[in-house]
Amino acid sequence: MPKKTQKVKASSPQARSSPVKKRARRGSVVAITGSGGFLGRNLVAVFEEDCTISKIVVLDLCNASTAGPKTVFYHVDLTLTGVESRISEILNAEQVESFVHLAFCAGPTQAVAWAHELESVGTMHVLSACRQFAVSKFITCTSTLAYGALPDNPNHLKEDRKLRGLRGAPFVAEKLDVERQLRRFQREQPNTVVTVLRMAPVLGPSVDNFVARWLTRSLVPTVLGHDPLVQFLHEVDAVAALRLALDNESSAVLNIVGRGVLPVSTVARLAGRVPVPIPFSLLRGLTSLLWVAQLNEAPAEFVYLLRYLCVADGELAARRLGFHPAYSTADAVLDFESAQRMREARVLASAQ
Amino acid sequence: MNGPVRGKREGRGPRSTPAQPDEQVAVRKSPRASARRRALVQTGPTVPVPASVEQGSGSAQSRLHEMQNTLDRLVRDVGQASVDGGSRQRAVDALGRIADRLGTPMASRVLASGGPLAGAMSVRGLSRRVSRLAMRHRADEVDEFGLDREYEAHIRPTIASLYERYFRVQAQGLHHIPETGSALVVCNRGGVVPLDGVMLKEAVARSSERERGLRWLVEDFTFHAPFLGTRLNRLGAVRACQENAQRLLAKEEVVAVFPEGVKGVSKRHRDRYKLRRFGRGGHVKLALRSRVPIIPAAIIGPEDAYPILQRLSVFRGASGFPFVPITPTFPLLGPLGLVPLPSRFIILVGAPVEGILEHPAEAAENVVVVNELNERVRNSVQMLLTQALEQRGHNVYR
């Protein structure tokens, strides 16, 4: 009989409240939504190989591509009404201990109404299910873009700073709503450990989001006369932070960011692109037009990220979670660039 | 598991991701790839792809085993002395494909060795070379507030010639700034363009043996000014706010603040060198909380470099600038009017203001104490200003 891992300590909530669980399981049970996205499917892969987790309950429209023997799949559509009773039934049936909620859009989308249903209303359903069946831990990810790219931002935004959103961009407004709901949930459910990870934009060899698409062009648009500092989180560090958050024992809101910052023009140049400075109003207008025509990776409000600072401080995550990013912002950009180069080689090779 | 993440993720990499995003990217890129194919000149023969490298059926283990065997064979082929063009080409292609899956830099060396792929990459290669060229005066990394050491070193000769020949700066009392440890230098502000910060930085670097760097706080409208704000940031200027200043002082840097702020910049020429209100004592609160000495300093010269005859507030909202200065040269000569007049600069640094650190850190919340200390600092700076004006006399531009 393998010895009990340190996951279920004598002082932890699950040990106190349900001795039945301690006897029946050798590892913990984790429920995960949003397993189709980048973070979700990589996290499922990590859980598959983690011996302290005995079962992964995937709640999604289709099973994760990285699902393995530990995964149990339930078809759940978060945009339907009445789904919270179904979720709480599943949580009860599987005796889920930790809930990882990753059912969010990875980047801005034109389908604003559907995104609102999925992110805001879906989170509402998930949280009411977690109220009915009290889970021990609730982990979710939002974005550091919620702080907003505003002229009066200091160089290191701390977690207690008021979230002001990105000039009303729907993508970021949804994250603000989710954070609001989670604060209320944490107040009302003191026994659940709520961990909110505010992640910097993720960049890396395989992730495909609005940052990667912005850097894919040979001529990268920037704002004329401005060159703010930006930070990225490497995709490996993002998944690692989620895994660490599962071991967190007290509720916290944490910034998860890569090491160091870089100016926007340096990012473009390290990625082997040529930055093209465009006057701000013109760039905003062009972005808006291209976004409406579904040719662009982000709406006009995101141009403010190329003009003003939005850099968060990751010191609290290092202290509370033990999260030390292995990659810096420059590493993430270089990794992305070398993967792009390999892909181009592959495409050109297959063309011959 | 609760420790740092580094040890755990040694053999790292999200396991199954290469399959999915590669397909997505290949699908997404195919229209561009076909366009590029048409535009490029093929310099080598088209060769069939070795079947063993393609997506095989079976488990990941067997595929990995297959790939390893293929890799061995290919390396053997390439290494053979009597290798002909066809099989070498096959080897290069296949190695490129494998390297792509493994994400190793080996492929770039293989591709650089020649063949049709190398020619095909020329467009991308050109943009990469241009990027590298543009980075020649800039460092690949900046510190957390944006200071770029290589850019600073690159621009140092220009600043030094401005310091010595154009403004003929005379700096005295810089021994009051400590060699190590943090300090807060409080200075008067003048001149539209922040020449005072740049010249003070140069003076501090010259006076200390190890070329101590100065970080100075600029107002919002300067920091967010197009072109200028970025250049200043790379030289060490930081946006003025309590959090930034506290963090800099915690990092043992010398920080210069200009409490007059925008009011100091917008003084008319006839009011030059009359100190305005020193803000609400933010610098005093900073010193009390961070337990650093306040060193008063006075700079004369910037206000004569840009004699503001009048200021217009009409364009305030649109451009983000609080006012538009009217100098003898500015709107008349256009952008050339922003060149500063060659006034003589004098920098006087005084002894640390007494009695600040006698108060505890909690005194920062006490408005009476803060106002009293603020007045004391202002008087010190005013005395230094008077002294500097006497020293300069009438040689304003000579």
Q: Interface pTM (ipTM) of the complex?
A: 0.85
Give the single-character DSSP code of B49. P
How far apart, in whole angstroms, are the C-alpha atoms of residue A124 and residue A117?
10
Chain B residues 247-286 with CB within 8 Å of chain A? 247
Is B24 part of the contact surface with chain A (CB cutoff 8 Å)? yes
Size of interface A-B (CB pairs under 8 A): 192
Integer CA distances (angstroms), B155 to B150, B211, B345, in order: 9, 15, 20
Residue B103 near chain A (CB below 8 Å): yes
The pLDDT of residue B71 is above 70: no
Query: What is the CA B22 to chain-centroid distance, rounded?
Result: 35
* Mean model confidence pLDDT for chain A: 90
Residue from the list B130, B224, B227 with its beta carbon closest to the beta carbon of A151: B224
Let me know: does A269 contact A238? Beta carbons within 8 Å: no
Question: What confidence tens digit (pLDDT) does each residue in B94-149 have?
Answer: 766 766 665 545 445 545 555 555 544 566 677 777 877 888 888 888 999 999 99
Q: Do B5 and A323 touch (CB under 8 A)?
A: yes
Contact A345 B96 (CB under 8 A): yes
Amino acid at position A211, single letter: V
Examine the pLDDT at B333 and tell me if it is beyond 80. Answer: no
Q: How far apart are CA A105 and CA A299, in angstroms?
A: 14
**pLDDT for residue A118:** 96
- Closest CB to B226: pick one of A207, A224, A345: A224
- Cross-chain residue pair A338–B229, CB shorter than 8 Å: no
Mean pLDDT, residues B222-242: 92
How many Å apart are CA A41 and CA A32, to the nearest integer? Answer: 10
Amino acid at B300: I
Chain B residue with CA closest to A320: the answer is B2
- CB within 8 Å of A345: residues ≥ 6 apart: B96, B99, B100, B107, B111, B117, B121
Tell me the β-bridge partners of B216.
Answer: B256
Half-sphere exposure for B142 (CA within 13 Å, toward CB): 29
Among the partner-chain residues B14, B132, B230, the one whose CB lies closest to the CB of A45 is: B14
Range picked from A57-71, B24-38, B324-338 for highest mean pLDDT: A57-71
* Chain B hits for A236, Cβ within 8 Å: 9, 12-14
Tell me phi and psi for residue B332, to 5 degrees: -65, -55
Residue of B nearest to A36 (CA): B20
Q: How far is A89 from chain B (nearest CA, A)?
A: 31
pLDDT score for B342: 87
β partners of residue A259: A328
- A316-319: which pairs have CB atoms within 8 A and are 24 or more residues apart? A316/A158, A316/A159, A316/A252, A316/A254, A316/A255, A317/A197, A317/A241, A317/A254, A317/A255, A317/A256, A317/A257
> Could you tell me if A38 lies within 8 Å of chain B, comparing CB atoms?
yes
Please tell me whether residue B382 adopts helix, strand or coil conformation. helix
Of the candidates B9, B30, B127, the beta carbon closest to that of A272 is on B127
**Two structure tokens written together for A131:** 């109220």
Question: CA A24, CA A133: separation in Å to the nearest integer?
Answer: 18
| Chain A nearest-CA residue for B110 | A345
Between chains, do A272 and B131 touch, taking CB under 8 Å as contact?
A: yes
Can you tell me the mean pLDDT for B338-361?
90
Total residues belonging to chain B: 398
Query: Would you call B144 and A261 a contact, using CB atoms and an 8 Å cutoff?
Result: yes
pLDDT of residue B394: 82
List, for residues A84-141, the tens digit of each pLDDT value.
999 999 999 999 999 999 999 989 999 999 999 999 999 999 999 999 999 999 999 9
Which chain B residues are Cβ-neighbours of A257 within 8 angstroms?
none
B152 touches chain A (CB under 8 A): no
A52 CB neighbours in chain B (<8 A) are 1
**pLDDT at position A240:** 96
| A151 contacts B117? CB cut-off 8 A | no
In this complex, the residue of B4, B33, B96 whose CB is nearest that of residue A322 is: B4
Binning pLDDT at 50, 70 and 90, where does residue B330 land?
confident
Residue A151 contacts B, CB cutoff 8 Å: yes
**Chain A contact for B227 (CB, 8 A cutoff):** yes
Which has more confidence, A335 or B325? A335
Q: Give B61's pLDDT tier (boundaries 50, 70, 90).
A: low
pLDDT of residue A15: 43
Is the CB of residue A102 less than 8 Å from the CB of residue A140?
A: yes
Predicted confidence (pLDDT) at residue B380 exceeds the cutoff of 70: yes
CB contact under 8 A, B21 and A207: yes
In chain A, what residues touch B91 (CB-CB under 8 Å)?
none
* C-alpha span between B16 and B60 (Å, rounded): 10
DSSP letter (8 states) at residue B363? G
What are the residue ranges in chain A where pLDDT is below 70? 1-26, 348-352
For residue A151, the chain B residues in CB contact (below 8 A) are 220, 224
Whether residues A339 and B103 touch (CB distance < 8 A) is answered with yes
- CB proximity A247 to B under 8 Å: yes
Flag if A322 and B138 touch (Cβ within 8 Å). no
Element (H, E) at A40: helix A38-48
Minimum mean pLDDT range among A6-20, B209-223, B251-265:
A6-20
SS3 state at A313: coil
* Residue whose C-alpha is closest to residue B237's, from B255, B263, B211, B252: B255
Residue A339 Ramachandran class (φ > 0 left, ψ -120 to 50 alpha, else beta): alpha
Q: Can you say whether the dihedral through the CA atoms of A283, A284, A287, A292 is positive or negative?
A: negative
Neighbours of B276 (CB within 10 A): 17
d(CA B236, CA B218): 10
Which range is least confidently modeled, A19-33, B4-18, B281-295? B4-18
Which residues on neighbouring strands pair with residue A53, listed in sequence order?
A: A28
Concatenated DSSP letters for B199-227? HHHHHHHHHSTT---EEEEE-HHHHTSTT
